[in-house]
C-alpha cells in the first residue's frame, strides 16, 4: 500500500542524498492515472506534493494536456475521453499549489 508513510520511506534516500551533498532536489514527471480507484489518484498526488513541499523540493506534474490518462482536467471514467465539465479534485489540488508559485529572485 502506498500511503504517505510508505512514500516518505521510499523517498528517504533522496532526503539523505540532499543532506549529505547539500543540493536542491527537483522531482519531475510524477502523476497518477486518473481512473485509479476510490479517489486514490488525488490522495497519492496530495501526499507526494505535501512531502515535496515540506522539504522545499521543486516538482513538475506530468503531463498537461499530453494524454488524457494523466490529465487532471479529465474525470475518473476511463471511457470518457473529454475534459470534465467541472474541475476535478486533482485539478483543484494542482491549481491550489500553482498559485503559490513565486517568480525566482535573480
Residue 38 covered by a domain: yes
**Residue-wise pLDDT tens digits, 27-58:** 988 999 999 999 999 999 999 999 999 999 99
Please choose, from the candidates 29, 30, 49, the residue with its C-alpha nearest in 3D space to the C-alpha of residue 92: 49
Our count of domains for the chain comes to 1
Report the greatest alpha carbon distance in the chain.
47
Interatomic CA distance for residues 79 and 105, integer angstroms: 44
- Beta pairing, strands 26-30 & 58-61: parallel
**Residue-wise pLDDT tens digits, 66-101:** 899 999 999 999 999 999 999 999 999 999 999 998
pLDDT given for residue 104 in this prediction:
76
> Could you tell me the pTM of the whole model?
0.91
Residue 72 covered by a domain: no
Residue 1 covered by a domain: yes
Residue 16 covered by a domain: no
Amino acid at each position: 500500500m502506498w500511503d504517505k508513510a510508505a512514500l516518505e520511506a521510499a523517498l528517504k534516500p533522496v532526503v539523505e542524498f540532499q543532506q549529505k551533498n547539500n543540493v536542491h532536489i527537483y522531482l519531475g514527471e510524477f502523476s497518477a492515472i486518473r481512473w485509479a480507484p476510490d479517489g486514490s489518484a488525488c490522495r497519492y498526488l496530495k501526499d507526494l506534493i505535501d512531502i515535496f513541499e515540506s522539504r522545499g523540493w521543486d516538482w513538475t506534474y506530468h503531463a498537461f494536456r499530453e494524454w488524457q490518462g494523466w490529465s487532471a482536467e479529465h474525470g475518473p471514467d476511463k471511457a470518457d475521453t473529454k475534459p470534465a465539465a467541472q474541475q476535478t479534485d486533482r485539478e483543484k489540488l494542482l491549481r491550489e499549489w500553482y498559485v503559490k508559485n513565486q517568480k525566482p529572485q535573480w
